[in-house]
């Protein structure tokens, strides 16, 4: 039976109001997970400059950036593992709620930091909340939707909003940078926590990075209102009420029936996060080398200094205004490119979700979703290039007309683009018919082996135009993999081990091992190791290109090794909601049925 006919023979299920509410909260959680995490690549450079007085490329900068990137990841990995245990012990809903509240409040408080140690402490709390929330949300969603096709769509599309989170933080950062670069600027920070955290210095009391961090409080507001209406996972609750819920155990993950699966999934998670933390998140440090960005930043600085001198301001204030103008102008370009990168990630997540629905759940290959997502992606790209502006420098420009033009271009060009995307994807899914589910993951990894070195080693620093193209493709390939894991990870472990297994793979593999690639980047690009690079790349001026070549090498490594290890990934055994007899070797179709070595070798 074909995928289309199989889908047509099954009744289409509609979501209830409660299920829509569940999807909203899960979407909010996934969105702000990434919103909180991707703040650091945007604000880290300026925050450390203000709090620690360090410059990129210096040993001091390397020291602090490694700490800010890696120590929170270690805390998140350890406490995230504990959170997975608590998710299995106390339920998915409760742990989900408190983890979101934790990272929202911690992000807000981080905006008032006056020392790098305070910023580090609050970032650790943010990471802990995010790491726990991901595990709780995925387990919660996978058990609330018993229909297979519906479950794949809900898991895939709610997780797609993770990339909307990255896009949203880039929009917020860009908008704040735009305000900061105007005459009025941002308001002076309030002194609410001055008695506890200390007074904020004059040089950073209107800093963009502070207001960006404070915006992380947003998800706590609707959550407090909606939480009483959220149900617990019926699968988990049923076993708990019947006294059949086994106590989760880390040791059980390494029992003979789970050992191979646990190790392989943990390694693949590490490499997926390695692509993000070892390459994608360092675009911010490479882009200032692009000629257009360097020229715009220096021009803004010169104008600000001249304006300050015309007002007869003292040298200190003139220098501060020049630095602020330089950072704001650079931040606008970084925000634009980051938005395009996150649109690529959003499209990659949606594309992976649609492939999963067709290949894994045997859903229909309808052209409309492909056209719809293509229209949305093109529309968002045009909006990103425009800056999602609510106002423009030209007072005669029409805001409404500008946004309608973006929408029109999205419908026209996205509608045209969606047709070949649909055709190529259906050819791929037909090719993967009867192949194991790992082939879907490998289809995303294979092109990255070639494209990641090209993007980071050449395209980003070459010009703004090539940077936009490169980061869109990189975002698609790197971020798309996470939707695969969000959909498939719950299937690899039984109910009583689901949260523990997910948290071990995501937090030990992803947050601990995977994020260590950021540590590697800053170690290799430090001035102490600049002998590895040509003489022309030595010193602080050569720092952006040292980062470019290092991230290019890491991108190649994680994709090549990931493609190889993914070939050893077994198929899941706990995909159905009827897997109550957890000791059986029950499997689900189509992952395990009719598989051959020939099918496995397709990708």
Q: Where are the domains of the chain?
A: 17-229+261-574+584-600
pLDDT for position 602:
53
pLDDT confidence of residue 411: 93
CA-to-CA separations, 187 to 45, 183, 202, 207, in angstroms, rounded: 21, 12, 12, 9
Q: What is the pLDDT of residue 225?
A: 73
Distance of alpha carbon 361 from alpha carbon 149, whole angstroms: 5
Residue 7 is predicted with a pLDDT of: 40
Report pLDDT for 263: 92
Does the predicted TM-score (pTM) go above 0.85? no
Q: Helices 59-90 and 116-144 sit at what angle, rounded to 10 degrees?
A: 30
Fold of 17-229+261-574+584-600: Growth Hormone; Chain: A; (1.20.1250)
Q: What's the confidence (pLDDT) of residue 583? A: 44
Distance from first CA to last CA of the chain, Å, rounded?
23
547 neighbors 521 (Cβ within 8 angstroms): yes
pLDDT along the chain (603 residues), means of 10: 40 69 78 80 84 81 83 82 74 80 87 90 89 75 72 71 76 81 74 79 81 83 70 74 68 85 92 91 86 86 85 81 81 83 88 82 77 90 76 63 87 92 88 81 92 93 89 92 82 77 81 85 85 86 90 96 92 61 39 41 54
Query: How far is the C-alpha of 100 from the C-alpha of 112, rounded, in Å?
Result: 20
DSSP assignments along 16-74, one per residue: PHHHHHHHHHHHHHHHHHHHHHTHHHHHHHHHHHHHT---TTSHHHHHHHHHHHHHHHH
Q: Under 8 Å CB-to-CB from 537, ≥6 apart: which residues? A: 530, 545, 546, 549
Per-residue pLDDT, 34: 78
Phi, psi of 105 (to 5 degrees): -65, -40
Please identify which residue in the block is written with the tokens 């650790």: 124
């Amino acid at each position: 039976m074909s995928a289309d006919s199989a889908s047509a023979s099954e009744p289409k299920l509609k979501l209830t109001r409660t299920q829509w509410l569940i999807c909203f909260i899960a979407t909010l959680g996934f969105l702000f997970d990434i919103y909180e995490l991707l703040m650091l690549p945007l604000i880290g450079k300026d925050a450390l400059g203000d709090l620690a007085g360090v410059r990129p490329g210096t040993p001091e900068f390397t020291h602090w950036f490694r700490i800010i990137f890696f120590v929170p990841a270690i805390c998140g990995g350890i406490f995230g593992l504990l959170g997975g245990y608590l998710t299995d012990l106390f339920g998915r809903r409760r742990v989900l709620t408190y983890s979101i509240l934790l990272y929202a409040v911690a992000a807000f408080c981080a905006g008032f930091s006056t020392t790098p140690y305070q910023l580090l402490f609050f970032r650790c709390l943010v990471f802990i909340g995010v790491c726990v929330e991901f595990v709780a949300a995925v387990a919660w969603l996978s058990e609330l939707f018993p229909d297979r096709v519906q479950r794949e769509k809900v898991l895939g599309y709610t997780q797609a909003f993770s990339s909307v989170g990255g896009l949203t933080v880039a929009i917020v950062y860009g908008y704040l940078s735009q305000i900061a670069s105007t005459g009025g600027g941002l308001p002076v920070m309030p002194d609410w926590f001055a008695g506890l955290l200390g007074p904020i210095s004059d040089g950073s009391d209107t800093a963009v990075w502070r207001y960006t961090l404070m915006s992380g409080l947003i998800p706590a507001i609707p959550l407090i209102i909606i939480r009483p209406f959220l149900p617990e996972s019926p699968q988990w609750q049923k076993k708990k009420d019947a006294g059949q819920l086994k106590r989760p155990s880390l040791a059980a993950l390494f029992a003979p029936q789970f050992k191979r699966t646990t190790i392989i999934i943990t390694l693949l998670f590490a490499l997926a996060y390695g692509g993000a933390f070892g390459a994608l998140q360092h675009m911010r440090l490479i882009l200032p080398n692009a000629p257009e960005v360097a020229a715009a930043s220096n021009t803004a600085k010169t104008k600000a200094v001249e304006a300050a001198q015309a007002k007869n301001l003292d040298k200190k204030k003139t220098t501060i205004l020049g630095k602020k103008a330089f950072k704001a102008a650079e931040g606008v370009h970084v925000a634009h490119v980051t938005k395009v990168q996150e649109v690529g990630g959003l499209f990659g997540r949606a594309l992976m979700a649609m492939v999963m629905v067709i290949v894994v759940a045997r859903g229909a290959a309808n052209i409309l979703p492909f056209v719809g997502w293509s229209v949305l992606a093109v529309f968002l790209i045009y909006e990103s290039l425009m800056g999602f502006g609510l106002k423009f420098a030209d007072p005669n420009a029409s805001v409404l007309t500008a946004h309608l033009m973006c929408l029109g271009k999205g419908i026209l060009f996205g509608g045209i683009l969606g047709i070949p995307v649909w055709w190529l994807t259906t050819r791929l899914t037909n090719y993967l018919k009867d192949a194991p589910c790992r082939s879907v993951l490998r289809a995303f990894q294979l092109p990255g082996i070639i494209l990641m070195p090209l993007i980071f080693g050449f395209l980003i620093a070459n010009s703004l135009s090539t940077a936009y193209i490169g980061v869109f493709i990189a975002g698609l390939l790197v971020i798309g993999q996470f939707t695969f894991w969000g959909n498939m990870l719950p299937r690899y472990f039984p109910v009583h081990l689901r949260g523990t297994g997910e948290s071990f793979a995501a937090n030990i593999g992803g947050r601990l091992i995977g994020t260590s690639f950021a540590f590697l980047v800053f170690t290799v690009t430090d001035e102490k190791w600049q002998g590895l690079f040509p003489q022309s790349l030595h010193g602080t001026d050569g720092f952006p290109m040292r980062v470019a070549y290092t991230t290019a090498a890491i991108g190649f490594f994680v994709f090549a090794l990931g493609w190889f290890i993914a070939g050893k990934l077994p198929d899941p055994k706990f995909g159905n909601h009827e897997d109550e007899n957890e000791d059986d070797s029950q499997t689900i179709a189509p992952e395990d049925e009719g598989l051959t070595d020939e099918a496995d070798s397709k990708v």
